[in-house]
Amino acid sequence: MKRELLASVREWIAGDPDEADRAVLQQLLDQGDEEELHRRFDTPLSFGTAGLRGPVMAGPGGMNRYMVRRATQGVVSWLEETGADPMAGVVVGRDARHGSEEFNDEVVRVLLGAGVKVMEMPRPLPTPLVAYCVKVLGAAAGIMITASHNPPEDNGYKLYGPEGSQIIPPNDRIVERYALAASEPVLGSRTSTLHQPIGDDVLDSYFEHFAQRFVVHGGTGLRITYTPLHGVGGEPMMRLFRDAGYRRVAVVDQQFVPDGDFPTLAFPNPEEPGALDLAMERADETGSALVVANDPDADRLGVAVNAHGGWRILRGDEIGWLLASALLEEMDPQRDLVATTIVSSTMLEKMARRARIPYISTLTGFKWIARGDGERTLRFGYEEALGFAVDPLVADKDGMSAALALCRLAERLSHEGKSLLDRLDEIEHDFGVHAGGQVSLRAEGPHASEMIRDAVARLRATPPSSLGGLAVSEVVDLAQGWRGLMATDGVYMRLGDMGRVVVRPSGTEPKLKAYLEVTLAPDDRRLVEQRAEAGRHLRGVREDLQRLLKF
C-alpha cells in the first residue's frame, strides 16, 4: 500500500469521532483493501451544484459525522472571515434520510461550541423551509442535511448564505479550505442559551403566505392525487392544500410516511421512470385529474396529467412553461425578472420577451438562478430538473409552493373547460414546438469521476459536425466561460436554428448528462405533425450522443 494512502487513512481514523466508522477503516487497512480505500480517499466530497452530497460511509469520499463536523468548522471560519455576526445565527434543518439526525446533531454541537447562535428546525422538514427561515429571520447562514432526490444510500449538506440562497464561489472554496484545516472542535450542548428552536409561529408564516398567495376562493372540485415519495413533504403539503382551498386531495398511503429506505422506489426522484406509478394508480382509483409529487426533501415538483384516460408525465420544462404562463402576467417589467439555466428550454426567453419581462440564463443549479441579476426581483425561476421558484420569499427551488401555483392554474383552466395540456398546446402553437430530452450515463467504480471528465474532454477536443442529421453550427467550451457566465465543465453545441445540446457532469451524482432541445418555428401544420417531426430529430440526436459519449 502506498505510503501516502496509508498516512491519509491513519490520519482520518485518528480524528474520526465515530467508533463504527473508525472500525470500518481499520478493518480495510488490516485487510489491505486498497481498491476500497482508494474509493473512499482519492476523491473527497466537495461543494458541487447543491453542496456536499455522497454515500453515507466512512472516509472523506462519503457523508459521515467527521465530514459533517469538519464542514461545519469550515462554515464557522467562513462566517468569521466574511465578518458575519455569530449572534445573527445559523438555521439548521434536516430531512428524514438515514444519518440525517446524527449529522444534524454534529452541526448543532459544532456551531454552539464555536459560540454561534443556532436556530434549529423542530423536526425533519422540507428544505425550502430552511431557505425561507434564513431570509425571514435575518440569519447569517443556513445548513440543511439532505441529499434531495439521490439514492437511499446518499446524504448531503446544503449551505445557504444570508440572502437565503445557496452559496456560490468563492464562498464554497473558502469553506472547503477551512474544513481541510479543521482540528478537533469544541462541542456545545442544546442547553446553551445560544440554542433556539424555531417556533411554530415562524413556520406558520410560510404556510399562511403561500396558502393566501395561491388560494382558490370558495374551494374547488379539482381532484388531485399527491405523493411525497417517502419524504418529509407529506404533512406540510397537505396543510397547504387544505389552507388554500383544496378538499379533494388523495394521497399515496404507501409513500406518505417518511422512510429513508424508499421501499417502493428504485430511485426517489420524480424524474425517474416508474417513480409516479403508484400515484397514477391511486389517481385512477379516485378519479383525479392531476398527480402531484414532491421529491424526498420537497424542493422539487413532479406532475402527471390525466390525458383522456391515460397519464402524461410532464417534463420539467413543460411545468416551467405552464407556471410562466400564469405568473408572467402578474409581473412588473420595471422591477421583476425571470430566469432559467443554459440546460433548460429556450421557451421561457421567448415567453418573457413577448410579456416584456426581463430574462436571464444562468449556469446549472438554483444557487445561480436565485441570484437573478442583482438588481431586479426574481419573480419566477426554474430548471428542467423539476426545480421551480414562484415567490421571492424563498430564494431556492420550492416544490410545495410551486405545486400550489400549478394547481391554481389547473383549477382556473377547468372553469374554461380546459386542462394543463390544452395550455401547453396554446404555448407551443404561439411560440413553436420545443422538444426536449436527456442522455444520462451513470459511471460506476472507483474511477467514475475520471471516466466522466475524460468523456467531456474527448467531446471538447473532437466535437461532432452533426447530430441526428442536424448540423452543429457552433461549439462552446464552457470551461472558458460564455456570455458572461462563470467557467464550468461542459460543452455547448448549437444545432443552427433547430436547437442545442449541452453536455456536462452532474453536480450531484456520478453521471454524465446531455441536455437536448430541438425547436421548430410555428407553422400552419397541426401540432401533432410538428411534434412528430421534432421527436424524430430528437431521437436521432439522442442516438448519436449515446454512441459518442459511452464510457
Active site residues: 148
In Å, the largest CA–CA distance within the chain is: 72
User: How far is 341 from 68, CA to CA, in rounded Å?
Assistant: 30
User: How far is 157 from 145, CA to CA, in rounded Å?
Assistant: 5
User: How far is 310 from 308, CA to CA, in rounded Å?
Assistant: 6
Beta-carbon-side half-sphere exposure of residue 396 (alpha carbons within 13 Å): 33
Phi and psi for 335 in degrees, rounded to 5?
-120, -20
User: How far is 22 from 16, CA to CA, in rounded Å?
Assistant: 6
User: How far is 184 from 215, CA to CA, in rounded Å?
Assistant: 50
User: How far is 311 from 78, CA to CA, in rounded Å?
Assistant: 48
What DSSP character marks residue 186? Answer: P
User: How far is 481 from 485, CA to CA, in rounded Å?
Assistant: 6
Q: Decide: 440 and 455 in contact? Cβ < 8 Å.
A: no
Beta-carbon-side half-sphere exposure of residue 416 (alpha carbons within 13 Å): 10
- Non-local CB neighbours of 64 within 8 Å, separated by 6+ positions: 16, 18, 21, 56, 57, 58, 99
| In the block, residue with C-alpha cell 428504485 | 266
User: How far is 362 from 166, CA to CA, in rounded Å?
Assistant: 14
Give me the sheet containing 491-494, strands edge to edge.
433-442, 511-520, 499-505, 491-494, 474-477
DSSP for 359-411 reads EEEE-SSHHHHTTTTSSSEEEEEEETTTEEE-STTSSS--HHHHHHHHHHHHH
C-alpha grid cell, residue 229: 415519495
Q: Decide: 301 and 319 in contact? Cβ < 8 Å.
A: yes
